[in-house]
Amino acid sequence: MVTEQHIWQELAQVTDPEIPTLSITDMGIVAAVELDAQRRSVCVKITPTFVGCPAIELIRREIELRLMRLPLQEVRVEVTYDPPWNSNRLSPRARELLRNFGIAPPPEYTGTDFPLQLLQEAVPCPYCGGTNTVLQTPFGPTLCRALHYCYDCRQTFEQFKPV
């Protein structure tokens, strides 16, 4: 019999195609797992990091493929904005993995609406830990990443954007 725990274990194996060290559970993309009483049918709700995230279809397919290996009759994956994803949903493990991958994690904030002043605050460099850094542009190689420059180690680095 499939349990909710089995499903979460499978979901923890699904990674973000743009940052493959991160699983979708670490990223807080899974909003809900709804298993019916007979445990034959499941609906997974995912909340995208950005509305236009091109990875969401790949993630959806990967979830379906994995869950269809379990003894279930129906697997559905729905995109939801309830709750809307925000960068506070990144787990402590995700933040650590991002740093190791060379991407600065976003600063945490209180509430659900990130203050724009956060963009002006120095982000610690993921390479040298220096804080003599500056935001170069909030638009990077993917929608969820910004570019910063570190004056300590004189390198450009990426940050997972606060949102």
Task: Indicate the residue among 2 and 147 with the shorter CB distance to other proteins.
Answer: 147
Q: Could you say whether residue 159 binds other proteins (CB under 8 A)? A: no
Task: Indicate the residue among 69 and 82 with the shorter CB distance to other proteins.
Answer: 82
Q: Which residues contact 56 (CB under 8 A, 6 or more apart)?
A: 46, 48, 79
Task: Indicate the residue among 54 and 92 with the shorter CB distance to other proteins.
Answer: 54
Please provide the DSSP assignment of 44-90 as one string: EEE--SSTT-TTHHHHHHHHHHHHTTSS-SEEEEEE--SSPP-GGGS
Q: Which residues contact 9 (CB under 8 A, 6 or more apart)?
A: none
Site residues for other proteins, window 55-84 (CB under 8 A)? 74, 76, 78, 80-82, 84
Cis upstream peptide for 48 (omega within 30°): no
Site residues for other proteins, window 21-60 (CB under 8 A)? 34, 36, 41-43, 50-54
Q: 45: left (phi > 0), else alpha (psi -120 to 50), else beta?
A: beta
Q: Which two tokens stand for residue 49?
A: 């990091």
Q: Could you say whether residue 138 binds other proteins (CB under 8 A)? A: yes
CB of 43 to other proteins, least distance (A): 4
Residue with tokens 């091109």: 54
For other proteins, which residue of 15, 23, 25, 86 counts as binding (CB under 8 A)? 86
Q: Could you say whether residue 85 binds other proteins (CB under 8 A)? A: yes
Chain residues that interact with other proteins, rule: CB under 8 A = 34, 36, 41-43, 50-54, 74, 76, 78, 80-82, 84-86, 112-114, 116, 119, 136-141, 143, 147, 161, 163
